[in-house]
Structure 1
Amino acid sequence: MVKTEVSNKEAVINRIEKSSANNIRFAVTDIDGVLRGKFLSKDKVLKALKSGKIGFCNVIFGWDINDACYTNTEASGWHTGYPDAQAFIDVDTLISIPWDDDKPFLIGDFRHDDVFKDICPRTLLKNIEKQAFDLGLLPKYACEFEWFNFSETPQSLYEKDYRNPTPLTPGMFGYSLLRSSLNQEYINEIFDTLKELNIPLEGLHTETGHGVYEACITYDDLSTAADQAIIFKTVVKEIAYQYEILASFMAKWNAALPGCSAHIHQSLWDLKDSKNLFYDSDDENNMSETMKQFLAGQLHCLPHILPMFAPTVNSYKRFVDGSWAPTSISWGIENRTTALRVINPDCNATRIEHRVPGADINPYLAMSAALASGLYGIKHKLKLEDDTFVNGNAYDNQKLKSLPTNLFKATKAMKESPIANELFGVNFVDHFIRTREWEWKQYEPQIDNWELKRYFELI
């Protein structure tokens, strides 16, 4: 994101005042990780920036991904009358949209709202990040997304009843420069536009599957990385629209094809940003004690908080042996069959890759869960268990504990575990669990294409 200090709010106000745009994009993120926003008049935004707050309908956390209002939640619902909540406009998130005449775009959260401050995903991330700061730790994170592309529009797919969407390119052809050349304007625009938005990519390439790509965002501090991830998905979708392409971040749109991941790369540094605290050259695997404790915490907490990484009914279709997605509570050195992959080449790049999240994550919640569970291991000085380490194919290891196999089981495990409350607070967990229970109850497998209709474009 384009960074500014809070003390430079006047500079942001001045930039908006000088903008030729008559309206401003403003968005917040709902519990499913979908940006919900408005086009606001310049005058309204400028007044809100001076006060620091703006009204946003309470329904933002009171409905599901398809705008069906929850009937089982306390924080928002018909019983509240859906009043306005108080959204905070974060000037640190200011970007300009190049394909919309450089229109200013700002992200907000609910850190100052009496009801929503405990359940807002972005606020949760900020709070957990502060816990790391208080321990003298600077979290550095990055997301790498896989997504499928189709020669469709929302209208054409709707008219097809979400049947047989046409892939952008045919065939299983990972790391293909040839296939990329067929749509090079689209691919180049994604790469170049993201750089212009200060969301730099380390790489972009085809994955194995029909019309599927993977992009790795360059690592940054935690809050910036999460904002970059949420904007990345929207930017890709909007650019795709311009080429009559539909980009889908659904975890598993086709059972015969690999799913789409959102691997999270993580490391901890000192507060001066000068030393990678995961690296220890005296250890045979270059792993510091801090890294081992962090890794142990993530393994320990994983089965108790899985819906934070796999939030939809469709998420669990991705966890199939031999599919490049993990199916067990496991870790390994440079092992892509495990849930957690240790990457340990040198002091600059030693990190943990969390391979459980799918592309359908809410980045704020997934990164919150990753950091909170790692800090849990540090606070409790947890040790790595020998029975979680894998040297070889984790899919063939029958001794490993398996991940829950559907959203119902995973949500039940989280609801019954005290660990979730310790990590995220009672109010957040209560609301989040209720939304996942709702999501499972909406599932009607007998309805043809239910998952495609619900998740294909929106997630």
Structure 2
Amino acid sequence: MPTEATVAGANAAKAAMFGVSDFDGVLRGKHVLGEDLSNRDRIIKFSEAVLAWDCSDRVIPVSFTQKPLSAFGDADVRILSATGRLVSCVGNQYLYLAEFTGKHENICPRGILRKVLRRAADHGYRCAVGFEFEFMLFKENADTIEDKPFGEWTPLTQGPFGYSIMRSVAQHELFDEILALCEKARIPLSGLHFETGPGVVEASLRHCDALEAADRATMFKSMIKAWAQRRGMMATFMAKVSEDWPGQSGHIHVSMSSDGQNAFYDSNAFGNVSKLMRQFIAGQLNYMNEFCVLAAPNFNSYKRLVPGCWAPISPSWGVDNRSCAVRAIPGEPSVHRLEYRLAGADANPYLALACAIGSGILGVEKGLALSAPIVGDASVEMILPSARLPQSLSEATSWFAQSTAANDVFGERFVEAFSCSRRWEWEAVQHRVTDFERRRYFEII
């Protein structure tokens, strides 16, 4: 006879949700009633419009790069039974991840990452990945942020106090809830602490297989935002919330293994950085400008990539150097890895990881040589304009759209579709007249 818990679990599975990532990394989906999603993958019909919407649900023209233009019908979506997670601290609320298949698989963010990981596997390598996210908590709700100007929003804590034990103890109930939520959702954390900036928290997700890591990261961002709203707060993963505060990063830790051994590790090499790891980092640096828009996908992203904000401003690398875009972290084989520091917290985890690994694999395939590591502050050492990362979403999009390497790694249809979406995002913001401009120019100019 089935137990009460078994019946509850079965009923929950038949009233579960699924979510599929759009270009911005936002999970779009719905409840699926009357079907058990837990026992096998299944393909259902779901609106293809979610791949044509921007973050405000406006249709991006020719976003599918189809001629004639799409009428936005239904597309095939594969619900992934192994990804089901309990996403609520109370009750039985299950969420399953999904991916587009069929004609839209080659522009589906999860599909793009799978394509990159297959390329690594073809060379005999598996990738282990851990994401870190900084996010900011405000004691506001969806109504008050509309009714009040930004200057009146109240962050969870005031002023910077990174790694504060006092604040962690004072806010232990919130931290306990985050830890419990992540534990139930099978998204184990390896760290949780306050970061520099008012109300800024950093969560380190435990490393695992690359695709699973991106799944966890995508779900984590949605869960934290939903949890905060249930708590009467708002959480944001914007790359730069205020010019007065540091930006919010989405650093990605990567290692590669072959035959069960860490292929990045060489005990006889400087910093334990193996020849393969040198080629991998060389690829990341060589293609960083061309692929940058995948890790910095929004107009706001480029306000984080400025000197003095613990974010890279150039394609640079160093050994345990946090001012660089790529940080080699030496250690025993079990922990030896690199940290890809270009990505902001606002990036789509699937695409940011595809950027970090895809560029690295190109370096391995081409046997690229690595420059000397930066010693000291990379924002001071790399000051020539020619050495800088793209300065805007528009510039980064142009790099990506014209990149033969991007077409090779990600596919022409995706490059065209994603470039179209980023041009649209740039145009949606750049023509807006802001309050800052009015205050600066209205009377004097």
Q: TM-score, normalised by structure 1?
A: 0.89
1:58 maps onto 2:58 in alignment: no
Aligned residue number for residue 437 of structure 1:
423
- CA separation in 2, counterparts of 1:107 and 1:216? 21
**Once the two structures are superposed, what CA deviation does each residue of 1:317-348 show, in whole Å capped at 9, x if it has no partner?**
00111110110110000001111000012211
- CA separation in 1, counterparts of 2:303 and 2:270? 37
Of 286, 289, 296 in structure 1, the residue corresponding to residue 282 of structure 2 is 296
1:391 maps onto 2:375 in alignment: yes
Aligned residue number for residue 434 of structure 2:
447
1:70 maps onto 2:68 in alignment: no
Seen in structure 2, the aligned counterparts of structure 1 residues 417 and 76 have a Cα distance that, compared at 3 Å, is: closer
Q: How many residues are matched?
A: 429
State the Cα distance separating 1:449 from its structure 2 match.
Answer: 8.4
Counterpart secondary structure, 1:278: coil
Aligned residue number for residue 82 of structure 1:
72
Of 40, 60, 65 in structure 1, the residue corresponding to residue 32 of structure 2 is 40
Q: Which runs of 5+ in 2 are unaligned?
A: 1-5, 438-445
Output aligned runs, 1:7-156, within 5 Å: 18-20=10-12, 23-43=15-35, 52-75=42-65, 79-110=69-100, 112-114=101-103, 116-156=104-144
Seen in structure 2, the aligned counterparts of structure 1 residues 355 and 15 have a Cα distance that, compared at 3 Å, is: farther
State the Cα distance separating 1:187 from its structure 2 match.
Answer: 1.2
**Once the two structures are superposed, what CA deviation does each residue of 1:5-27 show, in whole Å capped at 9, x if it has no partner?**
xxxxxxxxx99972346621111
Mean CA deviation greater in 256-265 or 395-404: 395-404
Of 139, 146, 160 in structure 2, the residue corresponding to residue 158 of structure 1 is 146
- CA separation in 1, counterparts of 2:179 and 2:41? 36
- CA separation in 2, counterparts of 1:411 and 1:210? 32
Seen in structure 2, the aligned counterparts of structure 1 residues 16 and 129 have a Cα distance that, compared at 3 Å, is: farther
Q: Which runs of 5+ in 1 are unaligned?
A: 1-13, 451-459
Counterpart secondary structure, 2:82: strand
**Once the two structures are superposed, what CA deviation does each residue of 1:282-313 show, in whole Å capped at 9, x if it has no partner?**
11221111100000000001011110000000
State the Cα distance separating 1:67 from its structure 2 match.
Answer: 0.3
The one-letter code matched in structure 1 to 2:16 is I
The one-letter code matched in structure 2 to 1:392 is G
1:167 maps onto 2:155 in alignment: yes
Aligned residue number for residue 300 of structure 2:
314
Counterpart secondary structure, 1:117: helix
Output aligned runs, 1:250-329, within 5 Å: 250-270=238-258, 272=259, 274-329=260-315
The one-letter code matched in structure 1 to 2:341 is R
**Once the two structures are superposed, what CA deviation does each residue of 1:167-214 show, in whole Å capped at 9, x if it has no partner?**
111111111121223322111110122122221111111111101011
- CA separation in 2, counterparts of 1:100 and 1:127? 37
Identity of aligned residues (%): 36
Output aligned runs, 1:163-242, within 5 Å: 163-242=151-230
- CA separation in 1, counterparts of 2:297 and 2:320? 26
State the Cα distance separating 1:76 from its structure 2 match.
Answer: 6.9
State the Cα distance separating 1:78 from its structure 2 match.
Answer: 9.5
Seen in structure 2, the aligned counterparts of structure 1 residues 419 and 243 have a Cα distance that, compared at 3 Å, is: same
Q: 1:72·1:438 contact (CA, 8 Å) conserved in 2? A: no
Seen in structure 2, the aligned counterparts of structure 1 residues 163 and 85 have a Cα distance that, compared at 3 Å, is: farther
Q: 1:263·1:353 contact (CA, 8 Å) conserved in 2? A: yes
1:413 maps onto 2:399 in alignment: yes
Q: 1:71·1:78 contact (CA, 8 Å) conserved in 2? A: no
Q: 1:62·1:77 contact (CA, 8 Å) conserved in 2? A: no
Seen in structure 2, the aligned counterparts of structure 1 residues 296 and 79 have a Cα distance that, compared at 3 Å, is: same
The one-letter code matched in structure 1 to 2:64 is E
- CA separation in 1, counterparts of 2:237 and 2:12? 33
- CA separation in 1, counterparts of 2:14 and 2:370? 56
Aligned residue number for residue 440 of structure 2:
none
The one-letter code matched in structure 1 to 2:368 is L
- CA separation in 1, counterparts of 2:320 and 2:60? 42
Q: 1:70·1:77 contact (CA, 8 Å) conserved in 2? A: no
Counterpart secondary structure, 2:18: strand
Aligned residue number for residue 442 of structure 2:
none
Counterpart secondary structure, 2:179: helix
- CA separation in 2, counterparts of 1:190 and 1:17? 23
Q: 1:313·1:406 contact (CA, 8 Å) conserved in 2? A: yes
Of 326, 331, 336 in structure 2, the residue corresponding to residue 345 of structure 1 is 331
Q: 1:24·1:104 contact (CA, 8 Å) conserved in 2? A: yes
State the Cα distance separating 1:104 from its structure 2 match.
Answer: 2.3
- CA separation in 2, counterparts of 1:57 and 1:391? 50
- CA separation in 1, counterparts of 2:65 and 2:145? 35
The one-letter code matched in structure 2 to 1:250 is M
State the Cα distance separating 1:158 from its structure 2 match.
Answer: 1.3
- CA separation in 2, counterparts of 1:185 and 1:206? 14
Seen in structure 2, the aligned counterparts of structure 1 residues 334 and 163 have a Cα distance that, compared at 3 Å, is: same
RMSD over aligned CA atoms reads: 2.1
State the Cα distance separating 1:148 from its structure 2 match.
Answer: 0.7
Seen in structure 2, the aligned counterparts of structure 1 residues 162 and 35 have a Cα distance that, compared at 3 Å, is: farther
- CA separation in 1, counterparts of 2:179 and 2:277? 32
- CA separation in 2, counterparts of 1:15 and 1:437? 49
- CA separation in 1, counterparts of 2:128 and 2:241? 31
Seen in structure 2, the aligned counterparts of structure 1 residues 99 and 125 have a Cα distance that, compared at 3 Å, is: same
**Once the two structures are superposed, what CA deviation does each residue of 1:122-150 show, in whole Å capped at 9, x if it has no partner?**
01111111111111101001110001110
State the Cα distance separating 1:50 from its structure 2 match.
Answer: 6.3
- CA separation in 1, counterparts of 2:377 and 2:20? 41
